[in-house]
Structure 1
Amino acid sequence: MIKNFIKIALRNITKHKGYSFINITGLAVGMACCLLITIWVLDELSYDRFHENSQNLYRVEENQDYSG
């Protein structure tokens, strides 16, 4: 059964080359973006986790807007 599905998929890929290229490229770009976003989120969540008392660390930020 799976062999038949693969055969049909390959036949459709060779029959519609442009459409298949666009779809496969879009899928690859989407998966790459998802992977990069996941890596970035994991990095942001691990901020200062190497300290002993990391749950007691706080970050103070100041934003100043200058008009002009």
Structure 2
Amino acid sequence: MEIQQRSEDVIATIRAMNRCWTEGWHEDEFRQYLHSDVVAIVPTTPGRLEGQDAYVAGWRGFCEAAEILV
């Protein structure tokens, strides 16, 4: 697969993932993009978010608190 096609695939995946939270909260769809052992460090939470449930809970909280303008 050539670089251009890989780049387009990555961009399409990121856009699809972003739609899971910018067009309403679609948790089941959002989860499909995450590894079960995902780890994140975010500015609003001390320490690390470890595991899919913790990561999703963080995004859910963000979506509930934020006003998303599309």
TM-score by length of structure 1 reads 0.34
Larger radius of gyration: 1
Higher helix share: 1
TM-score by length of structure 2 reads 0.33
